[in-house]
């Protein structure tokens, strides 16, 4: 629903209006190009690009929200890209349109993105009903998460009805992805149950579904892992999620499935479980709550990023920063004191930069 603060289409500058119309317009190569262009604009750090991107995003926002947002994590080699390719093709076969995004804050360090290499999803990447977008390489997790969140909305406006957000689980990236999706899926290997300690507890707690992949390699091990992880999740359910009783049919209890992404077996069952999850979450109000939480988290991410950026561009901060940094480096000033002085400049509590750098 358009809000009063959302600029009407007619208020957009002409180039943005054309771009927005194309994103919302007929499917095809012009629309694809417009989607790519919009996302590039959103990922740009140039203030003028950013301003145009914000206007564009606001105009597209009322048309977003209609997708199923699926977050996927798992260690490198577990089969994420094989799974996403198989699932994506399966969903396209059922008439869906699938977008794949990635959150990989390490990509700017390693110089490549986990999804930069299109050969990872060879068949999906050439499908006209799929759009694979590599992780933005803007560095910090906050920046990458923000761009991904915004790109997700653009894909929704462009009528992709399943948006998959992949992460490799560097630092807090799983929390970020779980905070922008409707279902968070953790992929595991058949031997995962043998060493439950190795699975980060925090990540297990985020998972709505766990999938044991490569079940074709060792069916017995996969079944064993499934049982072990199921009981571990039950423990989390009892102890880690206060207020949720063990057998409340109105509350989703994380489940464990096994499949083979390579052979494509178990995908239909997987999607059935996802649909059951979706129906239950919509019935018990969790779906709506999670969407509201996603928007709150988005707002706070933008506040954090906005404050930092305004701070860095503040003229008095820029003037005082070199001298204060030098004093910290030479041990003349505690870092915490320097930080406080710089923050006070923004708050207007110190009359002049000169006073702060003395």
**259: Cβ–Cβ under 8 A, 6 or more apart, which residues?**
211, 212, 213, 215, 265, 266, 267, 269, 270
97 is a site residue for ligand GDP (CB under 6 A):
no
Q: How many angstroms separate the CA atoms of 265 and 103, rounded?
A: 27
Q: Give min distance, CB of 186 to ligand GDP, in A.
A: 12
Rounded Cα distance between 179 and 297, Å, is 7
Contact pick of 22, 38, 58, 81 for ligand GDP (by CB under 6 A): 81
| 226 lies in the site for ligand GDP, by CB under 6 A | no
Q: Which is nearer to ligand GDP, 158 or 259 (CB)?
A: 259
Burial 148-167 (b: 16+ CB within 10 A, else e): bbbbbbbbbbbbbebbbbbb
Stretch that binds ligand GDP, among 22-30, 73-81, 218-226, 346-354 (CB under 6 A): 73-81
Q: Interhelix angle for 14-24 vs 47-60, to 10°?
A: 40
Pick the stretch among 33-41, 125-133, 214-222, 302-310 that binds ligand GDP (CB under 6 A): 214-222
Q: For ligand GDP, which residue of 34, 69, 79, 345 counts as binding (CB under 6 A)?
A: 79
Residues 252-281 interacting with ligand GDP (rule: CB under 6 A) = 260-262
**261 within 8 A of 252, measured Cβ to Cβ:** no
253 within 8 A of 73, measured Cβ to Cβ: no
Residues 229, 193 contacting (CB under 8 angstroms): yes
77 binds ligand GDP (CB under 6 A): yes
Q: Which residue is nearest to ligand GDP (CB)?
A: 79
Q: Are 299 and 293 in contact (CB under 8 A)?
A: no
Q: Between 112 and 142, name the residue whose CB sits nearer to ligand GDP.
A: 112
Candidates 60-68, 71-79, 336-344, 347-355: pick the segment binding ligand GDP (CB under 6 A).
71-79
Q: Can you say whether the dihedral through the CA atoms of 271, 276, 282, 286 is positive or negative? A: negative
Measured CA to CA, the distance from residue 40 to residue 17 in angstroms comes to 16
Does 73 participate in binding ligand GDP (rule CB under 6 A)? no
**Which span sits near ligand GDP by CB under 6 A: 78-86, 144-152, 175-183, 306-314?**
78-86
Q: How far is the CB of 212 from ligand GDP (least distance, A)?
A: 10
Interface with ligand GDP by CB under 6 A: which range of 43-51, 210-218, 242-250, 318-326? 210-218
Task: Assess 217 for contact with ligand GDP (CB under 6 A).
Answer: yes
Q: How far is the CB of 173 from ligand GDP (least distance, A)?
A: 14
Q: How far is the CB of 349 from ligand GDP (least distance, A)?
A: 50
The answer to whether 19 and 39 have CB atoms below 8 angstroms apart is: no
Kindly tell me the sign of the dihedral angle through the C-alpha atoms of 79, 65, 143, 28: positive
CB of 263 to ligand GDP, least distance (A): 6
Please give the residues from 311 up to 340 whose contact with ligand GDP meets the rule CB under 6 A: none
Place of tokens 């809000």: 3
- State the minimum distance, in angstroms, from the CB of residue 52 to ligand GDP: 34
In the structure encoding, which two tokens stand for residue 236, read together? 């989390």
Q: Which residues bind ligand GDP (CB under 6 A)?
A: 74, 76-82, 213-214, 216-217, 260-262
């Amino acid at each position: 629903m358009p809000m009063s603060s959302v600029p009407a289409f007619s208020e957009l500058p002409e180039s943005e209006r054309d771009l927005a119309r194309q994103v919302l317009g007929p499917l095809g190569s012009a629309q694809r190009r417009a989607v790519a262009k919009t996302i590039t604009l959103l990922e740009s750090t140039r203030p003028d690009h950013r301003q145009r991107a914000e206007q564009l995003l606001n105009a597209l926002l009322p048309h977003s929200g209609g997708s199923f947002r699926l977050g996927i994590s798992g260690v490198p080699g577990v089969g994420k890209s094989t799974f996403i390719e198989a699932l994506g093709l399966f969903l396209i076969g059922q008439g869906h349109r699938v977008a794949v995004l990635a959150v990989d804050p390490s990509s700017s360090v390693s110089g490549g993105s986990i999804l930069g290499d299109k050969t990872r999803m060879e068949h999906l990447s050439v499908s006209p009903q799929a759009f694979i977008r590599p992780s933005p390489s803007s560095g910090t997790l906050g920046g990458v998460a923000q761009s991904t969140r915004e790109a997700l909305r653009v894909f929704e406006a462009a009528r992709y009805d399943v948006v998959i957000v992949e992460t490799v689980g560097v630092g807090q990236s799983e929390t970020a992805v779980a905070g922008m999706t409707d279902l968070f899926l953790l992929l595991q290997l058949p031997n995962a149950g043998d060493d439950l300690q190795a699975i980060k507890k925090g990540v297990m707690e985020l998972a709505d579904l766990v999938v044991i992949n490569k079940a074709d390699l060792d069916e017995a091990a996969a079944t064993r892992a499934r049982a072990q992880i199921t009981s571990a999740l039950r423990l989390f359910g009892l102890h880690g999620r206060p207020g949720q009783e063990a057998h409340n049919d109105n509350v989703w209890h994380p489940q464990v499935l096994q499949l083979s992404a390579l052979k494509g077996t178990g995908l239909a069952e997987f999607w059935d479980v996802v649909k059951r999850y979706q129906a239950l979450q919509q019935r018990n109000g969790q779906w709506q709550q999670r969407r509201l939480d996603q928007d709150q988290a988005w707002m706070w991410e933008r506040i954090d990023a906005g404050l930092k950026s305004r701070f860095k561009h503040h003229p008095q901060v820029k003037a005082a920063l070199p001298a204060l940094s030098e004093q910290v480096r030479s041990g003349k000033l505690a870092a915490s004191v320097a930080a406080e002085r710089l923050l006070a400049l923004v708050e207007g509590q110190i009359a002049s930069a000169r006073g702060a750098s003395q």
